[in-house]
Amino acid sequence: TGSRSGREAGSGSGWGATTLTLPAGSWRELLTGGVFTGRIPLTHLLGQYPVSLLERHDI
């Protein structure tokens, strides 16, 4: 899980170039349905909601 505290939801501000490197495999973000692999910018992961819930989702 990831969270953004004290930021306006959806703004993406404050993360800059911060990324998250996920373990091998595909990961589905359960709130948005997005699927991610590898390294992703936190602005992509937390752009719509201030939290993220990832579940391994191998295709």
Q: What is the pTM of this model?
A: 0.70
Query: In this structure, is residue 56 part of a structural domain?
Result: yes
Q: How many Å apart are CA 5 and CA 51, to the nearest integer?
A: 9
Spatial distance between the Cα atoms of 41 and 57, rounded to a whole number of angstroms: 19
Token duo for residue 24: 């091998």
**3 within some domain:** no
In a domain, 5, yes or no: no
Measuring CA to CA, how many Å separate 24 from each of 9, 11, 14, 21, 58?
28, 28, 27, 9, 9
pLDDT for position 14: 80
The total of structural domains in the chain comes to: 1
What are the tens digits of pLDDT across the range 3-56?
555 544 445 458 889 999 999 999 999 999 999 999 999 999 998 999 999 999
Smallest CA-to-CA distance from 1 within 54, 59, 56 is with 54
pLDDT value for 16: 87
Residue 45 maps to a domain: yes
- What's the domain range around 58? 18-59
